[in-house]
Amino acid sequence: MIRVQEEDFDIGAELATFCAGDTSIGGVASFTGLVRDMAPIDGSARTIKTMTLEHYPGMTEKKLAEIEAEANKRWPLAASLIIHRYGTLAPGDQIVFVACASAHRQAAFDACQFLMDWLKTDAPFWKLEDTDTGGAWVEARDSDDKAAARWGKPETAS
Amino acid sequence: MKILYFAWMRQRIGASNEDMDLPDSVNTVDGLVDWLIARGDGYAQAFAKREVIRAAVNQEYVQFDHAVTNGDEIAFFPPVTGG
C-alpha cells in the first residue's frame, strides 16, 4: 500500500495494522525518515527552520506504486507500506515511512532498504530548506544514485 | 499540451504549469526545450543546465530525444530529493 499525504502518521498504529491477521509473517522491518536540524552547505552547517516538500501529484503515486510492485517481485513479502509526506515540516518531523513484512527477516530488511533507495532517486519529490541564512533547494547526491545502483538500477544521466 | 515545472524550475519560469499549442516544428523533448528557451529569460535560466534537468512525458521518465505531441502532459524538474 502507498500513501502520499500532508498529515503526520502514527508509526505504532501503522505497524499494528498494515499486516494484521497474517500469521505466516515471521518478521517486520521498517524505516522512518526525519527532518534534520542542520544543513551542511558549502562546507558550513546551517540551521534549518523548516523544510517544504513539493511533489508531482499523479506521477508520485505512480512511481511509488511501481517501486512497491518491484519490491514485491524481488522478495516474498506478505505486506508492504510506503507513506511519504509533503508540505512544510519542522526539524524532528517524520517525512517518510516504509515497512515490509515477510516470513523471514532478511527479505523484510532488504526490501525496506530497496524501497528507500529507489524512492530517493525515482519518486518526484523536492526539498526546499528554509535556514537562518535563507531558502535553498536540496541538491541530489551521487551517493543516492550509488545506493539505488546496488540493486541493479542504472545511475541517472545527471 | 500541458507543461508542468517543479522546484527551482517553477520559480525561474514563474509558473507551475501552462497549456500550449506546439508548432509543427517541435516533435521531441529537445525541440520543445529549444522552443521554450526562445520564449524568454526565465525559460533560458531554467533550462541553462539542460543536462541536469529530468523530463517526464505522461508521468514516465524519458530521454530528451523522446517524441512529444500536443496531447501529452510533459514535466520538467531538477533531480529528485525526496525520502
Q: Copy the grid coordinates of residue A90.
A: 519542522
Q: Do A140 and B8 touch (CB under 8 A)?
A: no
Q: Answer yes or no: is A45 within a domain.
A: no
Report, as an integer, the average pLDDT of A70-85.
98
Among A49-58, A133-142, A145-154, B38-47, whose mean pLDDT is lowest? A145-154
Q: Answer yes or no: is A15 within a domain.
A: no
* Number of structural domains chain B divides into: 1
Phi, psi of A113 (to 5 degrees): -65, -40
A46–chain B Cβ distance below 8 A for any pair: no
Q: A73 CA to chain B: closest CA distance, Å? A: 20
List the domain range (segments joined by +) for residue B27. Answer: 2-77
* CATH number of the domain enclosing B54: 3.10.20.30
Q: What is the ipTM of this complex?
A: 0.95
- Answer yes or no: is pLDDT of A69 > 80: yes
List the domain range (segments joined by +) for residue A117. Answer: 2-10+24-38+56-149
Q: Answer yes or no: is B43 within a domain.
A: yes
Q: B24-79: per-residue pLDDT in tens?
A: 999 999 999 999 999 999 999 999 999 999 999 999 999 999 999 999 999 999 99
Q: Do B82 and A56 touch (CB under 8 A)?
A: no
Amino acid A158: pLDDT: 40
Q: Answer yes or no: is A158 within a domain.
A: no
Please state, in angstroms and rounded to a whole number, the distance separating the CA atoms of residues A101 and A15. 10
Q: Answer yes or no: is A31 within a domain.
A: yes
Smallest CA–CA distance from A33 into chain B, residue:
B83
Q: Answer yes or no: is A107 within a domain.
A: yes
Q: Answer yes or no: is A51 within a domain.
A: no
* Interchain CB contacts (distance < 8 Å): A and B: 76
A139–chain B Cβ distance below 8 A for any pair: yes
Q: Do A158 and B75 touch (CB under 8 A)?
A: no
Query: In sequence order, what are the residues at sequence separation of 6 or more whose Cβ sits closer than 8 angstroms to the Cβ of residue A48?
Result: A35, A36, A37, A38, A39, A91, A129, A130, A131
Nearest to B81 among A116, A127, A156 (CB): A127
* CATH number of the domain enclosing A137: 3.90.1170.40
Q: Answer yes or no: is A50 within a domain.
A: no
* Number of structural domains chain A divides into: 1
